[in-house]
Structure 1
Amino acid sequence: MICSGHGAFIVLLALSCLIVPITYASKLPSQVLDFIHGGTIKNAGCNTNLSGKRWAVLVAGSKGYDNYRHQADVCHAYQILKKGGLKDENIIVFMYDDIAFNDNNPRPGVIINEPNGADVYQGVPKDYTEDHVNVKNFYAVILGNKSALTGGSGKVVNSGPNDHIFIYYTDHGGPGVLAMPNGEYIYAKDLNNVLNKKHAAKSYKSMVFYLEACESGSIFEGLLPNNLNIYATTASNASENSYAAYCPEDSKAVEEYDTCLGDLYSISWLEDSDKHDLRQENLQKQYEVVQRRTVAGVSDRSSHVMQYGNIEQSNECLYYYMGTNTANDNYTFVENPSSPSTLRVVNQRDANLLHFWHKYHKAPAGSHEKLKAQKELNDEISLRKHVDYSINHIGELLFGNGNSSKVLETVRPSGQPIVDDWNCFKMLVSTYEKYCGSLSKYGTQHMRAIANMCNAGVTMKQMVAASTQTCFKIPPTY
C-alpha cells in the first residue's frame, strides 16, 4: 500500500516537495513596503461620474472539497464587488456550492479565503450551481442570451453600449482549455469567439477579464486582439502552472483545514482590492502588485502574470469595474510589522494530493476515514500514472520512440495559439477520453501534447487506432 510503512514515508517525502515557500521582506522601511505593496503611490484619480452600469460574472469551475479555494476566491470577489456598490442583479455567480456545508468543512456554512479570515460565503447569490455551472450557461450569460440557458436564476449580462463588464474565472486549466465541474471544457477559441460576438453586438463599453488557471495565458495568446476594448490578465503564461496558497503546512495555516484556502494570483488581486480606494488605483497598478507577489518565489515555483488584449485600457481605474468600498476612502498604506514573512505555495494540480495526504494523516488509525483517505490518495496516484502512460504511449505509436517526446513537448513561439485547427483539437481530445477515460484536472497539462498531434497532422482515424491499442481496458476508476 502506498500509504503504509515505507510507502507512507515516500509519499510524505514527495509531498514535502510540493510545498514551496515564497519569501517576503518583513519589517522593511515603509518606502520599500510601499513599492512592494503599492500602498501610497496614488494615481490622479478617476472620473466617478460613471455612465452606464457595472456588470460582473464570477466563475468557480471546480467542485469537491479538495478544490475549496476556487469557490472561496469567487465568494471573496463577490464581497468586494458588493462592498463596492454593485447590485446583486448585476453580479452573476457560477459555483458548484458543495463546499460550505461539506462534511469536511470544519466550519459548516462558512467559507474563508485566508487563515482566520472572515466568512465570504454569506449573501453570495446562487445563480448557477451544481450541473448548471456549465459551458453553455457561461457563454449564454456573457452574451445576454436568456433563451440559451438551462436552469439557474436566469440572470444574464443584459448590458448596453456604455456598460463596463468584469469577468473573473478561477479553476484548473491546461493549454488551450479551462475546466468545468461536469468534465467539459471551455476551449480558448470558443471563448474568444464569444467575446468577439459580444463586441460585435455593441453591448459594452469596456471589459476586464481576470483568469486564474494553469497555462492560463494560452487562453488569450494569439487569440485576443487589441481592438475589442477588452483587457485581460492571467495567473501564468501559456506554458506554466499557477499556484494554490494558504495551504496546510503554511506557517499561518489553521490546523483544522486540510485544504488550500486560496490561489496565489487570486488572493493577490483580492487582498489588494480589499484595502485600497479603487478610485485611486488603476488596472496597471494592480497588475504590477499582483505580478510582484506572484513571481516572488523560487524560479521553478512561480508564475508570470500576463496581460492581453487592449493594454492601453490598463490605465483605467479599478473603480469602473469593481466600484470601491467607502471604508477605504483616502487609504494610505501603513507598514504592518506583523505581516507574514513567508507564504507557501503548491502547484494547482498537486493541491488535491496534499489534501488527501492530510486527511489520511489526521484520521484515527484503523478508522473508516483513514481507509477512505488512503483510497482517495491511491486512486489519484493511479489515475495520474494511467494518464501519463497513455498519452506517452499514444505519442510513441504515432511518432515513434525517438520522435515522440520532441513532438509532444513542443512549445510554440510567443504570440501563437497552441493549435491551428481547433476542430481537430476537440476531436482528438474527445477521442482520447472516449477510449482512455477522462484526462482529469491533472491530465489537462497534456492538452499541449494533443494539440501538437493536430499540428503534426494526426487524423481521427490514427488517434482512434492509437487510443484503442493503448487503452484496451480502462480501469473502472476512470
Structure 2
Amino acid sequence: MEHHRLFSLLSLLLLPLVVDARFNPLLRLPSDGENQSGGTNWAILIAGSKGYRNYRHQADVCHAYQVLKSGGLKDENIIVFMYDDIAYNNLNPKRGVIINHPGGKNVYDGVPKDYVGDDVNAYNFIGVLLGDKSLVRGGSGKVVSSGPEDHIFIFYSDHGGPGVLSMPQSPHIFADDFLKLLNRKHELGSYKSMVIYIEACESGSIFEGLLPENINIYATTAANSVESSWSTYCPGISPGVPLEYRTCLGDLYSVSWLEDSETHDLTLESLNEQYERVRARTSNQDTYEYGSHAMRYGDLVLGEEKASLYIGSIQSNKNSTFIEGNLLLSTPGIVNQRDADLIYYWHKFHGSPDGSSEKLIAEKELHEFMSHRMHVDKSINHIGKLLIGSENDAKVLNEVRPKGMPLVDDWACLKSMVRTFETYCGSLSTYGLKHMYLFANICNVGTKVETMAKVSAEVCNQFPSNIWSSLQGGFSA
C-alpha cells in the first residue's frame, strides 16, 4: 500500500551512511549560482494542493519563484512543485496568467515545470531534498545536489492540520516523517544551513517539540500549533479583487514575506527582521483581532543571517534602508484558510446565470461540500464521545499539550487511527485535517486501534458519496 511505501522509504533515512555527499562530486550539479560564502543557493518551492478553488497556493509559489529568480538564484537551483492546473483552467478569467495580488503582475511567466500533476507527491519531495535521483519518479528529475557549503531554502504553501502537511496526491506529509527527512539530510552533510517557510494551518505543530536546535535549520510558520492560517486578497472581502476570480489570490503569511522581499534590500535585512515584519502583519499589527501567530523554530541564531543568503535580493532594491514608515501594507481582508473553499463555491454559485446548467452544477458542488464538512465534524464528535465518554470527551480530546511537546507520542498510532477512521467514515479531506488533535489525543490516552475500528463502524454505517468523502485519492496517512 502507498503508506507502507512511504514508511519504507523514510526508514532508509535512518540507515548508516553509505555515501557522504561531501566526497562525491557526482552529487553536485554545475552552477554559477554561488553565494558570498562560496556555496550555492538552492530552493524547493511546493504548492501542496490542486483545483481552482486553491488558486492561492500556486500563486504563492509562482510569486516566490519570481522573487528568488529576481534575487539572483538560477533556474537550475530552483525546484518547483505545483499541480499546474490553474493558469489555463476554464474558470481563470485571465487564461495563462496567475496573480498573487489584485492588479499584480503575471507570476506564472517563466516558472519551471519541474514536478506537476501527480508527480507532486511526498515521495518525489523526499528524493529531491536528499539529492537522490533514484528516488524520483517522473518530472524533470531535478534534485537538490547540494554540498557542505550550500544553503537551502524551502517554501511550502497549502492546507495543513496538527502534525500534517497536505499534498495533492496521498499520503500527506506527517511531522515525524518530515523531521526524519531533515535529520537524514543533515547526516549526509550536504548543506551548511537551511531555512524553511511554511504556510499552512497549525503549521507550528510540524516543528513544535521536534526540530532540533543543532542541525543548522531555521524555520518559520504562518501559525502556531493550534490555530488556522489565513487566506487573503479574496473577492468580496479584499478591496480590488474582481468578483470573477471567485477565489482568494494569496495567503497572508506568504504574501507578507514575498512583498517584504520585493520592497527591501535583503542584503541589509536579517531573517529575524523579515520575520518580525511578517509576524506583525500576520497578527494585524500585534492586535490579533484576526490573523495568526507566526512562529520561529530550530536554530534561531541563523535568524541573524541576511535574508539574501537564502532568498537572494532584487538589485533594484539595493541600499533601500529600513525606516519606521517603510513597513508592509496594513493587513488586508482575510479569510480562515479552511473557509476559503466556501468563498469559492459561494461566488461560483452566485456568479452563475440563473437557470443555467452551470448554476445547477455549482449548487450541487456547494451542497456536497457542506454535507461533507458536517459529516466529518459530526462523525468525529460522536466517535470521541463513544471512546472517551461524554462527560470527559471535550476536555481530553481537545487538550493542547504544553509548549515544547510534540502533538503525539506514537506517530504510527496517529496514522493508524486516521486510516481506521477513513476506512469506515470516508476521506477527511483537507478540511478534516483540523481534527488531527482528536486522533492524537485518542492515541495519547492509550486507545487501541481495534476499539477505534469498532466505534467507527458503529458511527459511520454510511457516508456521503461525493468527491470529498471518496477514498479514490487514497488514505491521508
Q: State the TM bucket, normalised to the shorter chain.
A: 0.7 to 0.9
Secondary structure of 1:55's counterpart equals strand
Q: Does 1:255 align with 2:243?
A: yes
One-letter amino acid of the structure 2 residue matched with residue 201 of structure 1: L
**Correspondence for 1:203:** 190
One-letter amino acid of the structure 2 residue matched with residue 305 of structure 1: A
One-letter amino acid of the structure 2 residue matched with residue 291 of structure 1: R
Q: Does 1:292 align with 2:274?
A: no
Q: 1:318 to 1:389 in 2, by over 3 A?
A: same
**Correspondence for 2:4:** none
One-letter amino acid of the structure 2 residue matched with residue 290 of structure 1: V
Secondary structure of 2:115's counterpart equals coil
Give how far 1:450 is off: 0.4
1:413 to 402, 406, 422: 402
One-letter amino acid of the structure 1 residue matched with residue 77 of structure 2: N
Q: Does 1:230 align with 2:217?
A: yes
Q: Conserved in 2, the CA contact under 8 Å of 1:176 and 1:219?
A: yes
In 2, Cα distance between the equivalents of 1:48 and 1:160?
Answer: 13
**Correspondence for 1:169:** 156
In 2, Cα distance between the equivalents of 1:356 and 1:386?
Answer: 18
One-letter amino acid of the structure 2 residue matched with residue 316 of structure 1: E
Q: Does 1:439 align with 2:428?
A: yes
Q: Deviations over 1:72-96 (max 9, x none)?
A: 0000000011111111111010000
Q: Does 1:52 align with 2:39?
A: yes
Secondary structure of 1:67's counterpart equals helix
One-letter amino acid of the structure 2 residue matched with residue 220 of structure 1: F
**Correspondence for 1:69:** 56
**Correspondence for 2:381:** 392
**Correspondence for 1:44:** none
In 2, Cα distance between the equivalents of 1:430 and 1:442?
Answer: 16
Give how far 1:440 is off: 0.9
In 1, Cα distance between the equivalents of 2:163 and 2:330?
Answer: 35
One-letter amino acid of the structure 2 residue matched with residue 313 of structure 1: L
Secondary structure of 2:45's counterpart equals strand
One-letter amino acid of the structure 1 residue matched with residue 338 of structure 2: R
**Correspondence for 1:152:** 139
Give how far 1:184 is off: 2.1
Secondary structure of 2:208's counterpart equals coil
Q: 1:113 to 1:336 in 2, by over 3 A?
A: farther
Secondary structure of 2:408's counterpart equals coil
Give how far 1:105 is off: 0.1
1:454 to 429, 437, 443: 443
Secondary structure of 2:186's counterpart equals helix
What TM-score, normalized to structure 1? 0.88
1:104 to 91, 94, 97: 91
User: RMSD value over aligned CA atoms?
Assistant: 1.8
Q: Deviations over 1:396-428 (max 9, x none)?
A: 111111122222101000000010000101111
**Correspondence for 1:118:** 105
**Correspondence for 1:10:** none
**Correspondence for 2:254:** 266
**Correspondence for 1:92:** 79
One-letter amino acid of the structure 2 residue matched with residue 404 of structure 1: D
1:242 to 229, 234, 252: 229
Dislocated runs of 4+, deviation >2 Å: 47-50, 297-301, 332-337, 339-342
Q: 1:390 to 1:91 in 2, by over 3 A?
A: same
Q: Deviations over 1:256-306 (max 9, x none)?
A: 211100000000000000111111111000000000001017645221110
In 2, Cα distance between the equivalents of 1:431 and 1:341?
Answer: 44
Structure 1: which 5+ residue stretches go unaligned? 1-46
**Correspondence for 2:66:** 79
Q: Does 1:401 align with 2:409?
A: no
In 2, Cα distance between the equivalents of 1:405 and 1:367?
Answer: 45
2:115 to 119, 128, 134: 128
In 1, Cα distance between the equivalents of 2:432 and 2:336?
Answer: 14
In 2, Cα distance between the equivalents of 1:456 and 1:65?
Answer: 40
Higher mean C-alpha deviation, range 463-472 or range 97-106: 463-472
Paired residues, number:
432
One-letter amino acid of the structure 2 residue matched with residue 196 of structure 1: N
Q: 1:340 to 1:79 in 2, by over 3 A?
A: closer
One-letter amino acid of the structure 2 residue matched with residue 126 of structure 1: K
**Correspondence for 2:316:** 327
Q: Deviations over 1:429-457 (max 9, x none)?
A: 11111111111111100001000000011
In 1, Cα distance between the equivalents of 2:53 and 2:361?
Answer: 14
Q: Deviations over 1:164-185 (max 9, x none)?
A: 0000000000000000012421
Q: Deviations over 1:202-244 (max 9, x none)?
A: 0000000000000000000000010000000000000011000
**Correspondence for 1:276:** 264
Q: Deviations over 1:140-194 (max 9, x none)?
A: 1111111111111111111000000000000000000000012421000100110
